[in-house]
Structure 1
């Protein structure tokens, strides 16, 4: 699936849902993208997501971060029978940006970690499967 600059693929072999933003997106497109991720995760019954933000310049859109922490993340609580684990994949340049602002707001509803290495992100997601 590719909409709003987002490519989505479910990988049952991992198992993980991989969402890759391919371009800069507006806040509306980003929120719509997260809803598409949720729909795909629901269809697959998948509680482990890799969210690849490396091609986005701004990973700290304040309005979206607030929406994510106060509206979206609470929807994830107890949704799949296991806590949702979100691996945010960011560029090293963006690693210092405040993705952590989302983490504190959403941590009660899901487990979040930020990575600059995709293999490390997949390893962390796989730990949840055990």
Structure 2
């Protein structure tokens, strides 16, 4: 499935949904893309997601971080049989340049006492798949 600069691929062998952004995107495309991922996950009942961000620039902004934490992530609570696990895959170069202001880094390091969903940041796809399988 291709839309919003995003390719969504179900991987029943993992099992996971792999979403890869194929180009630079706007904040609206990012939000639309996340809802497309959610729709694909709902269709498959899949709570493991690998989001490949290596082909697009970081869209770091307080507004997007707020949207993710206040609007998008709360929709994941209790949605599936298990808490959602989201592996964010970034390039080693982006990781080396520091992620302190990155919305993905902020999201992936946030403490969630209710454990309703888990996120983590990766530069190695194989390592990300192993984490998703936990």
Normalised TM-score (structure 1): 0.91
Distance (whole Å) between structure 2 residues aligned to residue 14 and residue 119 of structure 1: 11
What residue ranges of structure 1 are gaps of 5+ in the alignment?
Answer: none
**Aligned residue for 1:11?**
11
- How many residue pairs get aligned? The number is 127
* Separation of aligned partners in 2, 1:104 and 1:114: 8
- Aligned equivalent of 2:124: 117
Per-residue deviation at 1:66?
1.4
Q: Distance in 2 between matches of 1:94 and 1:71?
A: 26
Q: Distance in 2 between matches of 1:26 and 1:59?
A: 8
Compute the RMSD of aligned alpha carbons.
1.5
> Is the CA contact (8 Å cut-off) linking 2:109 and 2:120 kept in structure 1?
no
Note the residue ranges of structure 2 that are not aligned, 5 or more in a row: none
CA spacing shift, 1:123–1:43, aligned 2, 3 Å? same
Q: By how many angstroms is 1:93 displaced? A: 2.2
Pairing 1:103–2:108 present: yes
Match of 1:26 in 2: 26
Aligned to 1:60: 60
Kept in 2, the 8 Å contact 1:46–1:80? The answer is yes
Q: TM-score, normalised by structure 2?
A: 0.88
Give the stretch that moved more between structures: 94-103 or 76-85. Answer: 94-103
Give the C-alpha shift of residue 101 in structure 1: 1.4
